[in-house]
Structure 1
Amino acid sequence: MSIYRIAHLSDPHLPPPPGAFGLSDVFTKRLLSRIAWRKKRKIHRPEVLAALVADMKAAAPDHVVISGDLTNFASPAEITAARAWLEALGDAADHTISPGNHDALAGPGGHERFAIWSPWLGDAGEASFPQVRVRGPVAIFNLCSALPTAPHLATGRLGTEQLQRLDAALADPAHAERFRLVVLHHPPHHGAVSKRKRLEDQEALRAVLAKRGADLVLHGHAHEALVGSVRGPGGAAIPVLGVPSASAKPSRHAPARWHQIEIEPRPEGGHAVRVVARGLSETGTEISELGRFILADLATRAETA
């Protein structure tokens, strides 16, 4: 059986375009982020992101998942510029975007702010969540944990309605034999990030996953390469993987990395999954392979850690 390859990258933090910050933003949370960006722009480098994207494109994955934080201030100019960047990646049907907290930093709180990204959110043609995209042997459950927060907070929340819809989608028998991939920006497990950055309703999400199951959860937000797990039906471990920022040069956070997730249906049922990590080393200046891992081994290691 053929192998289906999904590329996962996150937190590109694209350079703010002209007009990304206006006088009216002085009275919003965008002012704090603009001040913070003076330091962060030395870490989030466009040349690093370009090299990572070129490496990913050379691998020719079947589908690309980007788990949020395309922008820094969530300004209309940034949201529009991010769409242009997405268009340059390729066909929107081959790319799924889960918005991050920086993409909802200030302004209206509803998902309609992401309407301009609708072709990359799912196949419904609208900014709604969750959306389910069936691609090859994979069903991608795209969630949105992004919402405006108070200064110095970077928390996320899914909300009751989105969780109820996720519960129903995961229970749909049409996806029972597929590899069920859940994507969101904030990590769903304890200890991945500090309290001020956590997913506020992570317990409710974990309850849905424990009831309905999934094969893998992908996230960003932590700017680190993280391996974790949450419990599925019967106590089985569901692996959780996070990647560092796709634009980060070596610094106090992990350098840029992307994961190629190779999914191969087994004749007897289920899927064999291998993860290939590619990115910058702590001292390197070129994108290279960093390691290969079997998903089942990662889940076992995370469960016993």
Structure 2
Amino acid sequence: MFRLAHISDVHLGPLPALTFLELFSKRITGFVNWHRNRRRHLFTNTLDIVLEDIERQAPDHLAITGDLVNLASSLEIAAVKHWLPEAGAPENVSVVPGNHDAYVRGAYEKSTRAWYPYMRGDAAPAEWQEDTHVFPYLRVRGQVAIIGCSTAVATPPFSASGYFGSRQARETVNMLRAAGEAGLFRVVLIHHPPIRGATAFHKRMIGIRRFAATISTGGAELVLHGHTHLNTVNWLPGQTKPVPVVGIASASQGPGGHKPPAGYNLFSISGAPGDWTIERERYALTPDGLALSLAETTRF
């Protein structure tokens, strides 16, 4: 049995001091939003509590599906680089970026370079190289193939959309097929939910139909995402049966907000090709914000 934990939307805080030039961009809208809304509900100690509970569970691997920062400033990207070892070693933690990690032009490259050890596929170069495609990546851990995809792109103010393009789709199909032929359980990591209507129009994933075709053509057993800060289960057509598409609340969301409190999913994967079993346990922050408790169990 392989046990996979999943968190998302870390939004590591607190927000550092930014220069005038850093704010003279789309960041000004995010800066205002942080101080008017998110600052009151996103807490670093909540993230610490989540990670401590995951450590107690001792999963085989941890997936983080994006939005590790808030405004993608250089200080925030560096802070996440120093924080990631707290989540685990690069070989035990797989990361994909979110829209906040590519908040403004140039941020995506800075983020992927800084966090590359956590995004590096098994066959990829040991060091980050300019003008190379990091995504999709393939990591094999035990009986599980982890395919990391990116929808992170810089967008105009008041937009938080993502993009899944044709090149990435083709390469993802090839990875999924190869993993299937090797008899592996295939889990795809992506930030934006690949489900129509899952978000507001300005937060949608462009390329939803392309992603759905990728899953039905290449084959997969599980898709994990973030972005909505909600605990959700949806489905996409698969090769032989529907594929569960699972989202999770922000890992830094404190109690009392309009979004669900922080939590994580823990998937226990067992079986064999054609007869996989997925047991999901969802843990959520208690109302006092001091611990996590089992909130839901599901079998897929």
Structure 1 position 18, deviation (Å): 3.6
Q: Which residue of 2 aligns with 1:301?
A: none
* Structure 2 counterpart of 1:79, one-letter code: I
* Structure 2 counterpart of 1:246, one-letter code: A
* Structure 1 counterpart of 2:32, one-letter code: I
Please show how residues 110-149 of structure 1 align to structure 2 within 5 Å. Answer: 111=109, 113-123=111-121, 124=124, 125=126, 126=128, 128-149=134-155
Q: Which residue of 2 aligns with 1:28?
A: 25
Structure 2 gaps, min length 5: none
* Structure 1 counterpart of 2:207, one-letter code: D
Q: Name the stretch that deviates more: 239-248 or 167-176.
A: 167-176
Structure 1 position 282, deviation (Å): 5.4
Q: Name the stretch that deviates more: 242-251 or 275-284.
A: 275-284
**2:222 matches 1:225:** no
Q: TM-score if structure 2 supplies the norm length?
A: 0.92
Structure 1 position 207, deviation (Å): 1.0
Q: Is the Cα–Cα contact under 8 Å of residues 64 and 94 in structure 2 kept in the other structure?
A: yes
Counterpart-to-counterpart distance in 2, 1:252 and 1:18: 25
Change (3 A) 1:173 1:121: closer
**2:298 matches 1:274:** no
Aligned residue pairs, count: 290
Q: Is the Cα–Cα contact under 8 Å of residues 180 and 186 in structure 2 kept in the other structure?
A: no
Counterpart-to-counterpart distance in 1, 2:134 and 2:268: 28
Q: Is the Cα–Cα contact under 8 Å of residues 122 and 142 in structure 1 kept in the other structure?
A: no
SS at match of 1:164: helix
CA deviations over 1:85-139 (Å, ceiling 9, x no partner): 1022221110000101001001227546411111100232336100000001100
* Percent identical: 33
Q: CA RMSD in A?
A: 1.8
**2:54 matches 1:48:** no
Structure 1 position 233, deviation (Å): 2.1
Q: Name the stretch that deviates more: 199-208 or 164-173.
A: 164-173
Counterpart-to-counterpart distance in 1, 2:103 and 2:254: 24
Where does structure 1 differ by over 6 angstroms across 4 or more consecutive aligned residues? none
Q: Is the Cα–Cα contact under 8 Å of residues 101 and 111 in structure 2 kept in the other structure?
A: no
Partner residue of 2:80 out of 79, 82, 87: 82
Q: Which residue of 2 aligns with 1:246?
A: 251
* Structure 2 counterpart of 1:65, one-letter code: A
Counterpart-to-counterpart distance in 2, 1:260 and 1:173: 22
Q: Is the Cα–Cα contact under 8 Å of residues 180 and 219 in structure 2 kept in the other structure?
A: no
Q: TM-score if structure 1 supplies the norm length?
A: 0.90
**2:153 matches 1:155:** no
**2:242 matches 1:237:** yes
Counterpart-to-counterpart distance in 1, 2:87 and 2:7: 13
Q: Is the Cα–Cα contact under 8 Å of residues 192 and 226 in structure 1 kept in the other structure?
A: no
